[in-house]
Amino acid sequence: MVNPFIKHLAILALTITCFVPRLRAQEYVGGTLLGNTVFSPALNPYIVIEPLIVPEGVTLTIEPGTNLFFMIQTSIRVEGGTLIAMGDADSPIHFDAQTDKKWDGINFRVSRTEMDENGNYLSGSILDYVSINYTTTGLVLSDTALLYAEQVSITNANYGVTLQSGSTLLMNNSTLDHCSYGMYIKNSDSNNVSNCMISNCDIGIFFPSNNTSRYNQITNNNISYNSNIALFMSIGQGNMQYNLIHGNTVTYNNIGLHIGNGGPDDNGFNVISENIVRYNDIGIKLSQDADTLKGNNISLNATGLLLAKASKNKIANNFIHNNSAWGLTLTDGSSGNLITHNNIFSNESGVKITHKDFKYSMSNTLSYNAVNDNLNEAFLFEAGPQMPLQFNTITGVNSSEVFVNHFESDIIATGNFWGTSDTTLIDNLIYDVHDEETYGEVFYKPMLDYPDPESPISRPKMVVKQLTEQGVLVSWINNTEVDLAGYKAYYGTDGMTGFDGFTDVGADTITVFNTLALADPIAVTAYDTDADGNTDQFEGHESAYSYAIAGPYAGENDKICQGEVYITFSATSLNNEYLQWTTSGDGQFLESEQLVTSYIPGEEDVLAGSVVLTLSQVVSGLILSDETELLISGIPMVFAGNDTIINQYNAYHTVTAEASNFDVVTWITMGDGEFEEQDQLETLYWPGNSDIESGSVQLILALGSECGNLRDTVLVEIIPSFSINGRVSRNNYPVEEAIIVAIKAGETGSRAVSTENTMPDGSFSFSNLAIGNYYLYALNNPDTYPKWTPTYYAISSFWQGAYLMPLTTDVFDVDIELNKISDQLPAGIGSISGYFNYAGKTGDDDSIYNKPWFSDNFYQNGSNDGLPAANHVVLMMDKELNRVLAWALTASDGSFHFDNLPFGSYRLWGEKAGYTNSLSPILMLSPLNTAMENVQLSVEQKSIKVTLPEAEFPETKVWFYPNPAKEKIWLNEPAIGEFNLLEIRIIDTFGRVVKSVSNNFQMGSLAHGIDLSDFACGFYIIRFTSDTGLNYTGKLTIAR
């Protein structure tokens, strides 16, 4: 029946059929429409005073911008008719209460909407850009009604949407807010709710118990901030099946997704996939059987995923992380579930399998999961038995009680990777019968040496970002998987669905972002060889995000000069808190806890030339450190060398030049010569023609450094040079390959300046000798011609008798005849050997001597502790030093030897021009002393000294008696009879020899004793010397 207030509308509808009538403004409406009707915003507002019914065959069209206000207990009831309410973004259609009492919403019964195969609207009922406010039920579909709803806002309703009795709703991009139940679905199939916001309700979407609802698709919605449950699918008793809950964001609810309520044999076959479930007390509670949970991101909840009375489910490819309690819990008889390919990490605890009221959860299969970095246990078993755990990666933050068996059943956990192959460490990770005898044992051998390639790839560890001069530098530790292919670094706003972009870093473990700030979110993932860029994370082929933490940056390596203070201007950190500078040296920071501070190098820093400065910071419970090396350049120094003299044809060698603490050096000439390497400290300078004509050149050594530039000069005097030409002969025959040494004599002494070898005709030629005075010393090979001794020009074995040749022009016809040893020693068994050494540093002509003069036997490696004097001549002479008996040329180690000598007395002489010899001690060879070894010749200043090794008599009890003595002492003949005494000395306490017995007559008189009658009482030293070089020293006391 039509309301009296709109009687004229009914009359118009019945009598005029050629057009659709438009109601006048501020009309009260209600009752059953008798024909097609249009509500226009021109007549706003419409006041609905009784239910407005759209019967079959009638279409009510509501134009954009139209406002309808409803009295209590009124509604729009579409009963087989069609409601077309299509607003737009600028002019939506409003349905609201007229009073403070709720109205009864829009009800569809039997009404149909036609859509194409892609779900696009064709005809029939539709709600688009419509707001429905303050109702008992905002939208009701029943009796097989089918409705398309887009951009619908339903607020402040007891029930936002009720779907029942075989009805179907396709709702997109809509809002259900502040409802008791956002959506109530009972006995309703094939509903499609997508891209909707369902928030601030008691329960967002509710499937009550004991109803049949199948093939519903709840996808890509945001179901958040509901006080109880975001989506609750209650006991279905096998009738709530094949529903898809996919891609939704579920946050800030008490329980996020509550699937099933523990009914018996409640096989759902529902799929819960790729939902983002965060910030709930329980992320997902599954109490149904035979469902599939895959690809969900369950994080930042208290409990991540709870299975209670849930069996035969497949839990696969989920990210369960950063939950403040357990990541995954199975309780109350949850059995026979397959838990595989999940990433469970960074939770308070990982996986717990337990019981409730003695209903044990058992026979669950856990394989190919990555359970890493959970704060407490990775696994806790309080129920069992379970199926074998295999191919999992199991690591923890702690080093003990990571895998815990608190149940009586044994656990087979073979073929897993434990982060190490060290069985001692793995034993520490496990808690079982070996720790508490009431529990079962965990069998983990054999184990894997690296993660199974089929298990999810693990996150990169220790991802740190630093603000450097090049940009934000991100670094991390390399993964251990054998199928690792590379890394991706993500950046940009980190929303619920991830980042804005990424860069594929490849196999590197470092990358730099030039356009990001240190505070911008950055994360790194690892991917394996099976990654194809399509849902790799949920498939386990790309790891979860490992978020970069901002670490300190100590700055690039730097350099300062000695005496300067270093300021840490280039150091950076995100928050300048909990910082600490330390040094590897002995310097000091003025404020070691400030980012920008001053460092004063210490003495050890300066001596070392560098110091490492470390900046540490406590970030997220970790101590992160970075270091920089500070080079400390000493004060630059340059010395071009001592002024010197060279020959006109010789190069000047800058060997005496010195420089330190420089970056570059450059030689500069004030003449016209050339340097071989101008930018090297040690180089050669070849004088030019102008240099030679002027007789000198000034060379400049220029030094450049960050701590200053310096110069120094050296004056090189250039003198003329001449040649000496001659011949060496032996018994008037030419000597081939003889050595002639040119020795220049000067005010400071004599030194060898050059050597030449004779030609086959015995000739030699020195072509470039400086003006001066020279000795010429000729030697033939001592191994080949030992009878012919080294000879000075002209015909002298000693430099004192040689001719000192003045060289002021080229010299020719210098003939040197080698001297021959006149006395041939008979062969014997004696030998004399030793070493010729420098006492101190070598001479400045050492380079002449330290090269082979003859081809054989020069390089020797004897046990010489001194500084060898190689190629030095040793003459063996009679003890009166009248005749040369043999000669030797020292080897590279300074060694020499004379062999096959007859017994007798000898002295040694070291022949070197300009050097005098001190008197050699006598070297006595006898049957008791056939070899004199380790005889030392030493060159010190301009003298050569010969010393014999100290030798002692064999120890015996008494050498003389009595002691103390009064007037005489006698020798103990049995003790000394085998020795041929040469000398006996008595020395007082002042070191003076007060008595000496040395010749044969005196020795023969020793049978009568040694007279001490004129000696004062006191202490004396008595020394015995034998002909073999043995010595005995003792103390003699005279007392009367």
* Residue ranges with strand state E in 584-695: 588-589, 598-600, 610-619, 622-633, 637-639, 644-647, 652-653, 658-660, 664-669, 674-675, 684-686
User: d(Cα 18, Cα 33) in Å, to the nearest integer?
Assistant: 17
Q: Is the model's pLDDT at 951 over the cut of 70?
A: no
User: d(Cα 673, Cα 690) in Å, to the nearest integer?
Assistant: 8
At residue 839, the 3 state secondary structure works out as coil
With beta carbons less than 8 A apart as the criterion, state whether 311 and 333 touch: yes
Spatial CA neighbour of 200 closest among 223, 183, 174, 217: 223
Residue 705 sits in a domain of what CATH number? 2.60.40
Alpha helices, DSSP H, located in 631-718? 689-694
Do residues 56 and 5 both lie within one domain? Answer: yes
Do residues 61 and 181 both lie within one domain? Answer: yes
Residue 569 sits in a domain of what CATH number? 2.60.40.10
Q: Which residue do the tokens 């000795």 mark?
A: 775
Structure tokens at 73: 């207990």
Burial 994-1009 (b: 16+ CB within 10 A, else e): ebebeeeeeeeebeee
Burial 401-431 (b: 16+ CB within 10 A, else e): bbbbbbbebbbbbbbbbbbeeeeeebeebbb
In a domain, residue 148? The reply is yes
In a domain, residue 574? The reply is yes
Share of the chain above pLDDT 70, in %: 94
User: d(Cα 21, Cα 696) in Å, to the nearest integer?
Assistant: 124
Q: Is the model's pLDDT at 928 over the cut of 90?
A: no
Do residues 512 and 648 both lie within one domain? Answer: no
At residue 252, the 3 state secondary structure works out as coil
pLDDT value of residue 1005: 56
Mean pLDDT of 93-97: 98
Do residues 165 and 32 both lie within one domain? Answer: yes
Spatial CA neighbour of 389 closest among 360, 366, 410: 366
User: d(Cα 243, Cα 515) in Å, to the nearest integer?
Assistant: 45
Q: Is the model's pLDDT at 21 over the cut of 70?
A: no
Domain end residue (candidates: 794, 820, 846) = 820
Spatial CA neighbour of 983 closest among 965, 948, 1010: 1010
Give the count of domains, the chain.
Answer: 7
Q: Is the pTM of this model over 0.75?
A: no
Summary mean pLDDT of the chain: 91
With beta carbons less than 8 A apart as the criterion, state whether 607 and 585 touch: no
Q: Give the length of the chain.
A: 1040
Do residues 664 and 740 both lie within one domain? Answer: no
Other C-beta atoms within 10 Å of 235: how many? 20
Domain end residue (candidates: 914, 947, 980) = 947
What separation in angstroms does the CA of 622 have from each of 73, 552, 578?
63, 12, 11
Question: Of 156-170, 346-360, 987-1001, 1007-1021, which range is least confident?
Answer: 987-1001
- Mind listing the pLDDT tens digit for each residue in 983-1007? 788 888 766 888 887 655 445 556 6
Q: SS3 sequence, 385-431?
A: CCCCCECCEEEECCCCCCEEECCCCCEECCCCECCCCCHHHHHHHEE
Counts of helices then strands in the chain (DSSP H, E): 8, 101
pLDDT value of residue 348: 98
In a domain, residue 424? The reply is no
In a domain, residue 843? The reply is yes
Mean pLDDT of 642-659: 92
pLDDT band of residue 8 (cuts 50, 70, 90) is very low
Q: Can you give the C-alpha Rg of the chain in angstroms?
A: 55
Domain end residue (candidates: 633, 648, 680) = 633
Task: Give the amino acid at 980.
Answer: N
- Mind listing the pLDDT tens digit for each residue in 568-600? 999 999 988 899 999 999 999 999 999 999 999
Q: Is the model's pLDDT at 424 over the cut of 70?
A: yes
In a domain, residue 1026? The reply is yes
Do residues 601 and 672 both lie within one domain? Answer: no
User: d(Cα 592, Cα 581) in Å, to the nearest integer?
Assistant: 5
Do residues 49 and 188 both lie within one domain? Answer: yes
Q: What are phi and psi of 261, to 5 degrees?
A: -140, 30
User: d(Cα 268, Cα 240) in Å, to the nearest integer?
Assistant: 6
Spatial CA neighbour of 926 closest among 877, 967, 978: 978
Mean pLDDT of 673-686: 96
- What is the full DSSP assignment across 766-823? EEEEESEEEEEEEE--TTT-TTEE-EETTTBSSGGGS--EEESS-EEEEEEEPEE--S
Could you tell me the residue range of the domain that residue 508 belongs to? 461-550
In a domain, residue 941? The reply is yes
With beta carbons less than 8 A apart as the criterion, state whether 314 and 336 touch: no
Strand 370-374 to 393-396 pairing: parallel
Do residues 14 and 137 both lie within one domain? Answer: yes
Do residues 14 and 156 both lie within one domain? Answer: yes
At residue 1007, the 3 state secondary structure works out as helix
Instruction: Specify whether the backbone of 254 is left (phi greater than 0), alpha (psi in -120 to 50) or beta.
Output: alpha
Question: Of 513-522, 749-758, 986-995, which range is least confident?
Answer: 986-995
In a domain, residue 369? The reply is no
Contacts of 819 (CB under 8 A, 6+ apart): 788, 789, 791, 795, 796, 797, 884
pLDDT band of residue 1011 (cuts 50, 70, 90) is confident
User: d(Cα 552, Cα 467) in Å, to the nearest integer?
Assistant: 8
Do residues 841 and 980 both lie within one domain? Answer: no
pLDDT value of residue 957: 54
Do residues 40 and 188 both lie within one domain? Answer: yes
pLDDT value of residue 4: 37
Q: What are phi and psi of 535, to 5 degrees?
A: 50, 40
- Containing H/E element for 510? strand 510-513
pLDDT value of residue 1004: 52
Dihedral angle computed from the Cα positions of residues 838, 842, 843 and 846, in that order, rounded to the nearest 10 degrees: 110
In a domain, residue 776? The reply is yes
| Greatest extent of the chain over all pairs of C-alpha atoms, in Å | 181
Mean pLDDT of 610-627: 94
* Residue ranges with strand state E in 564-621: 566-567, 579-583, 588-589, 598-600, 610-619
Do residues 680 and 807 both lie within one domain? Answer: no
Structure tokens at 913: 């021009």
How many degrees, rounded to 5, is the angle at CA 789 between CA 783 and CA 792? 135
pLDDT value of residue 103: 98
pLDDT band of residue 497 (cuts 50, 70, 90) is low
pLDDT value of residue 981: 67
pLDDT band of residue 1014 (cuts 50, 70, 90) is confident
